[in-house]
C-alpha cells in the first residue's frame, strides 16, 4: 500500500464551533487547500456508538453499541482490519475505547496503554489513554499538543498508511462550561493552533487528512439525540480527491468506506453507504 491518510477526530465539536472558531482550518478552506462539509452523526449521537459507526460504517442498530457503558470488541469489519487485509500499516492515538472496540476488550491498562504489534490484523501501533477519574471538575484529558506529536512520531517511525487521532478535550470543555463563554472560545482557538502546524507536516509527508468530530453538542453541552446542534459537526478534507457539492451533508456511515477507497483497501460488504471522495 502506497497511499496514506490520517483521520483526526476532535470529540464533541458542533458544526458552528468548527466554522466560527477554527481560524486555521477555515483559512485553508478559503485558500482551496481544504474543503469542508457538514457531517451528521448516527443516532444516538453519543461518543462510543459514534466511534463504532465511524470505523465500521454500520449503524448502532447493527453494531449494538448503545452508549458509553457498552464497550466491547465489535464483530464487524472496520477500517483497521480492512487496511491490514490490504497490507497497510495502522496506528492509533486515542481514547482506550478505540482499542477495546477494534482490537481487544476489556482494555488492560498495562498491556494495552501502548503496543507495537506488526503482525496484528487490527491496530499495529497503538498509544491510548483512559481518562480514568473523569468528572465535571477534573477533565483528565492529555494535552492535544502531546498527542499530535505522538501520532506524528508513529507516522515517522513506522510509516503508517492509516492513523487515527482522537481526544476528548473539547467534549469535556463543552460539558463543563457550555458554548457561549470565553473558556470555549479559548479552548477551540488553542486546539486549532495546536493542530495547524501538524497538518502542514502531515501534508508534506504525503498524508491526506480528514478533520472532524464524532458528534456535536447543544448549548447546554448535551448530545445524544436528534437536535442538529447535537448531531451535526464539520468535516474538513485535505487531499487530491474530488468531493460533493458544498451543501452536501456527509452521513457518518460514509466515512469508513470513503477512507478505505482513498487508501485502495477493500470495502467490507457490511459498509453499504456511498463513498463521498472520488
Residue with smaller CB distance to Zn ion, 214 or 218: 214
**For Zn ion, which is the closer residue by CB, 55 or 84?**
55
225's CB contacts (< 8 A; 6+ apart) are: 43, 44, 45, 231
Beta carbons of 81 and 95 less than 8 angstroms apart: no
Instruction: In whole angstroms, give the CA distance from residue 98 to residue 134.
Output: 17
- 12 touches Zn ion (CB under 5 A): yes
Q: x/- binding map, residues 163-182, to Zn ion, per CB under 5 A?
A: --------x-----------
Give the residue with the Cβ less far from Zn ion, 11 or 144: 11
Contact between residue 51 and residue 98 where contact means Cβ atoms under 8 Å apart: yes
Q: For 44-78, b where at least 16 C-beta lie within 10 A, e where not — what string? A: bbbbbbbbbbbbbbbbbebbebeeeeebeebebbb
- Out of 6, 11, 95, 252, the residue judged to bind Zn ion by CB under 5 A: 11
Position of minimal CB gap to Zn ion: 47
Residue 93 DSSP label:
E
Contacts with Zn ion, 66-105, as mask; x by CB under 5 A: ----------------------------------------
Q: Among 17, 41, 47, 233, indicate the residue that binds Zn ion (CB under 5 A).
A: 47
* Ranges within 190-219 binding Zn ion (CB under 5 A): 214
Nearer to Zn ion by Cβ, of 131 and 241: the residue is 131
Give the number of other Cβ atoms within 10 Å of residue 209's Cβ.
20
Per CB under 5 A, residues contacting Zn ion are 11-12, 47, 171, 214
Amino acid at each position: 500500500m502506497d497511499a496514506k491518510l490520517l483521520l483526526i477526530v476532535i470529540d464533541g465539536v458542533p458544526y458552528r464551533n468548527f466554522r466560527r472558531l477554527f481560524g486555521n482550518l477555515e483559512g485553508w478552506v478559503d485558500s482551496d487547500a481544504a474543503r469542508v462539509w457538514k457531517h451528521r452523526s448516527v443516532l444516538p449521537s453519543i461518543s462510543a456508538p459514534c466511534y463504532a459507526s465511524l470505523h465500521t460504517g454500520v449503524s448502532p442498530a447493527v453494531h449494538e453499541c448503545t452508549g458509553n457503558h457498552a464497550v466491547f470488541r465489535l464483530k464487524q469489519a472496520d477500517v483497521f482490519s480492512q487496511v491490514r487485509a490490504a497490507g497497510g500499516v495502522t496506528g492509533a492515538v486515542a481514547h482506550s475505547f478505540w482499542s477495546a472496540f477494534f482490537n481487544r476488550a476489556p482494555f488492560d491498562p498495562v498491556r494495552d496503554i501502548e503496543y507495537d504489534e506488526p503482525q496484528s490484523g487490527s491496530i499495529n501501533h497503538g498509544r491510548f489513554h483512559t481518562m480514568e477519574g473523569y468528572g465535571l471538575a477534573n477533565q483528565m484529558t492529555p494535552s492535544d499538543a502531546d498527542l499530535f506529536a505522538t501520532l506524528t512520531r508513529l507516522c515517522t517511525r513506522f510509516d503508517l498508511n492509516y492513523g487515527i487521532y482522537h481526544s476528548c478535550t473539547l467534549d469535556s470543555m463543552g460539558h463543563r462550561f457550555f458554548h457561549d463563554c470565553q473558556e470555549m472560545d479559548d479552548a477551540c482557538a488553542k486546539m486549532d493552533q495546536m493542530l495547524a502546524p501538524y497538518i502542514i507536516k502531515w501534508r508534506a509527508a504525503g498524508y491526506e487528512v480528514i478533520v472532524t468530530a464524532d458528534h456535536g453538542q447543544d448549548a447546554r453541552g448535551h448530545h445524544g439525540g436528534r437536535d442538529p446542534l447535537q448531531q451535526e459537526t464539520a468535516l474538513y478534507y485535505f487531499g487530491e480527491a474530488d468531493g460533493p457539492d458544498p451543501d452536501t451533508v456527509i452521513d457518518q456511515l460514509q466515512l469508513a468506506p470513503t477512507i478505505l477507497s482513498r487508501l485502495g483497501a477493500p470495502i467490507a460488504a457490511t459498509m453499504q453507504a456511498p463513498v463521498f471522495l472520488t
